[in-house]
Structure 1
Amino acid sequence: MPQVSIITPCYNSSEFLEETIQSVLHQNFTDWEWIITDDKSSDNSVEIIKKHQDSRIILIKAEKNGGAGHARNLSLEKATGRYITFLDADDYWQPDFLQEMISFMQSEKAELAYCNYARCDEHLQPKIADFEADIEVNFDNLLKTCRLSLLASMYDSERVGKEFFPEGSKREDHVMWLNLLKKIPYGKPLKKTLAKYRMREGSVSRNKTNIMKDQYLVYKEHMNFSTLKSLYYTANWAFNGFKKYSKIFN
């Protein structure tokens, strides 16, 4: 049984997939399994994955295109590691990501941890200031802005259990983290930059206007808040999202 399970959804990711694979293969911590679920890609993503003959890489091919949340859930079902972490097929880890995160969680006795990450263009060159893991996250402050990024976070499934994603929501990661933080008091910040996030133009997470309704449903449908309370937190999320990605504040 590996110590860490890495969860990755893959859909038509051939442009950046090889760089992502290399960032995992070059980790200085080696006791991991990497469960990649291909979500019915129409490009050569599967071929890129298959060419790496490493028994720690487990490829699942989804029977239908079900979205990132569905693909992550298929991987989570197969995961056997104590520590769960996530890496999308276009993101990148520094070689010491796993080692630093696990050491931090063990020394701090943390159930959930997150670190700084660099916010880069498509060529992994810095675009705006690094996102900083600067506060302990809890359920209340995570309602106003999602400080937990999948590529820079890790949780202890032995202590909190596996947390699955709601399917069909474009904000499935925020809902998942909120549900996890209902179980524990807080997640701890590791103030080191250990990952790189590609700020790709047109991505779902970058297009704030188009996902305002989806964010509202996080509170209204998934958290069962009143309409007024849901609107209040949606407004907070929108303002904090502007601050998070605007060069005015970076």
Structure 2
Amino acid sequence: MAEVSIITPVYNSSAFLQETIQSVLNQTFQDWEWLITDDCSTDNSVEILRKINDPRIKVNVGEKNGGAGHARNLSLQKAAGRFITFLDADDYWEPNFLEEMVTFMKRENAELAYSNYSRCDENLKPKIEDFRADKEVTFGNLLKTCRLSLLSSMYDSRRVGIEFFPEGSKREDHVMWLNLLKKIPVGKPLPKTMAKYRMHASSISRRKTNIMKDQYLVYKDYMKFSTLKSMYYTANWAFNGFLKYSKLFN
């Protein structure tokens, strides 16, 4: 049984998939399994994945296109590792990511941890300043802004169980983290930059005005807050989202 389960959804990711694969194979920590679910890609992503000769990498092809949350859930159903972490098919880990995170989790007796990550263009060149893991994360402060990024976070499934993604929400990662933080008091920061996030021009995470309604439903439908309370947290999320992406490099 591997100590770490890596969860990856794939959909038409052939342009960047080779770099992502290499970033996992280059990890200094090698006790992992990688559960990849292809969400009915129409490019050659599956062909690329099936060429990898490594028994730790387990590729599943979904029967229908159900979105990233659905693909992650299919992989999570098969996850056997103690530590759960996520890597999208176009993102990148530095070679020390898993080693540093697992060591930190054990040393700090943490149930959940997250690190800094670089915010890059499609060529992995810095685009805006690094996102910094500089605060402990609680259910209360995660309501106002989602500080946890899938590619730079890890949780201990032995202590908190497997947390699945809600299917149907376009903000499934935020809902998942909130549900997880209902179970534990705090997520701990590791202030080291060990991952790279590709900021695509069309990335849904940056089209804030287009997903205000989806974010409102995080609070109204999934957290079961009142209308007024849901509007309050949506406004906080929008303001903090603006600050998150406002400082561009010259």
TM norm. shorter chain > 0.5: yes
1:212 aligns with 212
The CA deviation string for residues 200-230 of structure 1, in whole angstroms up to 9 with x for no partner, is 1111111111111000000000000000000
* Larger mean Cα displacement after TM superposition, 83-92 or 196-205: 196-205
State the partner residue of 2:123.
123
Matched with 2:143 is: 143
* 1:149-168 pair list within 5 angstroms: 149-168=149-168
Q: Distance in 2 between matches of 1:86 and 1:245?
A: 22
Alpha-carbon RMSD: 1.1
Aligned to 2:134: 134
**Other-structure match for 1:229:** 229
1:137–1:147 CA contact under 8 A, matched in 2: yes
Match of 1:53 in 2: 53
Relative to structure 1, the CA distance from residue 249 to residue 225 in structure 2 (aligned partners, 3 Å threshold; closer, same or farther) is farther
Give the whole-Å Cα distance in 1 for the aligned partners of 2:207 and 2:58.
32
Once residues 242 and 21 of structure 2 are traced to their aligned partners in structure 1, the CA distance between those partners, rounded to angstroms, is 31
SS at 2:110 equivalent: coil
Q: Which amino acid aligns with 2:227?
A: T
Q: Distance in 2 between matches of 1:195 and 1:83?
A: 17
- How far apart are 1:30 and its partner, in Å? 0.3
Counterpart AA for 1:228? L
TM-score normalised over the length of structure 2: 0.99
In structure 1, the residue matched to 2:65 is 65
- The offset of 1:247, in angstroms, is 1.8
In structure 1, list runs of 5 or more residues that go unmatched: none
Distance 1:105 1:233 in 2: 30
Give the SS at the match of 1:85. Answer: strand
**In structure 2, what residue type is equivalent to 1:52?**
I
Partner of 1:85: 85
Could you tell me how far apart the structure 1 residues matched to 2:192 and 2:163 are? 25
SS in 1 for 2:27: coil
8 Å Cα contact 2:129-2:249 kept in structure 1: no
Distance 1:204 1:9 in 2: 16
3-state secondary structure, aligned to 2:80: coil
Which amino acid in the other structure matches residue 179 of structure 1?
Answer: N
Q: Which runs of structure 2 are paired with 1:164-243 in the superposition (5 Å)? A: 164-243=164-243
The amino acid of 1:35's aligned partner reads L
Count of aligned residue pairs for this structure pair: 250
Q: 1:248 to 1:126 in 2, by over 3 A?
A: closer
Contact residue 243 and residue 249 of structure 1 kept, 8 A: no
Shift of 1:248: 6.2
Residue in 1 that maps onto 2:10 = 10
Aligned partners of 1:248 and 1:4: how far apart in 2? 35
Task: Tell me by how many angstroms 1:246 deviates.
Answer: 1.1
Q: 2: distance between equivalents of 1:249 and 1:73?
A: 36
Residue deviations 1:7-50, cap 9 Å, x none? 00000000101000000000000000000000000000001111
Could you say what secondary structure the match of 1:102 adopts? helix
Partner in structure 2 of residue 25 of structure 1: 25
TM-score, normalising length: structure 1: 0.99
Cα distance in 2 for partners of 1:249, 1:10 equals 30
The one-letter amino acid of 2:207's match is N
Q: Percent identity?
A: 77
1:113-168 Cα shifts (integer Å, max 9, x gaps): 00000000000000111000000000000000000000000000000000000001
- Partner amino acid for 1:46? V
Kept in 2, the 8 Å contact 1:10–1:88? The answer is: yes
Mapped partners of 1:17, 1:213: distance in 2: 31
> Higher mean Cα deviation, 173-182 or 200-209?
200-209
Shift of 1:249: 10
SS in 2 for 1:205: helix
